[in-house]
Chain A
């Protein structure tokens, strides 16, 4: 726990505190001299003796509330602690006040005869209470800020971990299934096997080479995903039917690397895996005033059991868009029970 006084950690509070008491003291002196007919010296001594001294001593109440917080102690224990602390502080305060009056007041005997002490003690307890409330408020505010800060830090860590997971996201089963296809092709069609090995190597190299937050040209990202689709096409044959409608203007647009791959992977997983008939996976790209727009859609067999919710893949893309562009609305999904459509908007500066 942080026991440092808020006046030390946050000098601005100390300045406001000082100003407040300064103004209050001046106001008090004016009231005393103008409407209560005190002489100036009398008024100043009294204000210094009781008011400004409380401003100094009262600051110590912070330590009382820090050592007897409601979280760690029972309510009555806290009340008891404060009652004792209040009495001690008020005793010291009154003692200081009385000594000051005796030393500096032009008419100390008169002051004592007016019996202002009882009044003062009551005021002291009331002020103590106000201080306690004030410091508890500061304490809670600090705790709240601290919590927000640590939450933010935690979130950043989680994101980092997620991004890391995302990075190594080329599904190992994709790799093993592809290797199995290659194994088969080595017997029946060695040339095709060789081509597939090369495609697979290029894809792996691409996914290993690029940094998570790096942006690549849409052309490059698209070529890479074509490799991916090509490999899957070898596996699934006529069941997978990819098509592209690419506006050439969009080639130069920048896009976070490997952001399309999970979308194609989903299209294959939910469309092709479950289908017995050919499935179209269509990619359309255009440049709009909002930026690069990529639409990836896949048909699917509506009779196949609907999949549970939104997969990790889409959520991760949303998170990445949120991190990179501060906007997770850039990914839109629609599903008309025959076709699943993902629309991705990538802002261009």
Chain B
């Protein structure tokens, strides 16, 4: 590897950024090409500059490090740096190269960078991180969904989500604000949303319990759900069973 690792830092605290920069200055495999104070900037800068390596904080204003990763078109190697140890598992589900716990030493940082170098030598220029993004978040249920809508990033609190419809490789998320497309599987949302609030009623639909106004028999063995705004959604056999279980009828 002749070139240096093009590196971007995404970290909201100035002191933490300074520390990381001063550590990295003495590691000559690394060249810092960008610095961001939050995830919004991070998405923009990473997609533009296409770095090999990103140092990423998790707890940041507006959107978290994980949410930022989901919005990337370019997939760099990620080293997380955070004071929280409880995200380590999730980080590796995102195929993180390493997970630095603050405060960390320069040796520990060097080790992390070496891992990335090794990885790149093994797998080619950059590994496809976010492609392997976890389909089964284990930490806790989502409380917001972040969608990239052309040049804007939209954040929907899950309270605003009305229902989700599958569309081939995408899902359409219908919220009280509008509808947004996201490249995720239904399975992902089924696992990521609180099952007390959202029910999978069909291969193509996940619906928020509070949105349901009526459940109607459609044909002999089939049902439809009618939402408060009169939208009708098909219910499958398993879906009906799920409804019965959650709504207790």
Contact = CB atoms under 8 A, between A and B. Distances in A.
B38 interface: yes
B83 A273 contact: no
Contacts of A184: 15-16, 18-19, 22
Contact of B103 (A183, A236, A304, A305): A183
B62 A181 contact: no
Contacts, number: 59
B102 A180 contact: yes
A9 interface: no
A305 B61 contact: no
Given A187-B22, A276-B61, A305-B157, A180 B16 contact: yes
A237 B37 contact: no
Nearest to A276: B61
Contacts of B22: 184, 187-188
A180 B14 CA distance: 11
B184 interface: no
Nearest to B37: A276
A182 B62 CA distance: 25
Contacts of B101: 176
A156 to B, nearest CB: 30
Interface in A139-192: 173, 176-177, 179-185, 187-188
Interface string B110-143: 0000000000000000000000000000000001
Contacts of B14: 237
A308 B143 contact: yes
A273 B19 contact: no
Interface string B2-27: 00000000000111101100100000
Contact of B83 (A173, A182, A237, A275): A173
Contacts of B188: none
B84 interface: yes
B47 interface: no
A185 B22 CA distance: 11
B107 to A, nearest CB: 13
A205 B59 CA distance: 27
A69 B244 CA distance: 37
Residue of B15, B22, B83, B84 contacting most chain A CB atoms (<10 Å): B15
A275 B155 CA distance: 15
Nearest to A234: B15
A273 B63 CA distance: 11
B44 interface: no
A274 interface: yes
Contacts of A235: 13, 15
Given A273-B61, A276-B38, A276-B62, A177 B19 contact: no
B18 A179 contact: no
22 contacts: A176-B83, A176-B103, A177-B16, A180-B15, A180-B16, A180-B83, A181-B13, A181-B15, A181-B16, A183-B103, A184-B15, A234-B15, A273-B59, A273-B61, A274-B62, A275-B61, A276-B37, A276-B38, A304-B61, A304-B62, A305-B143, A305-B144
A-B pairs with the 5 shortest C-beta distances?
A184-B19, A176-B83, A180-B102, A180-B103, A184-B15
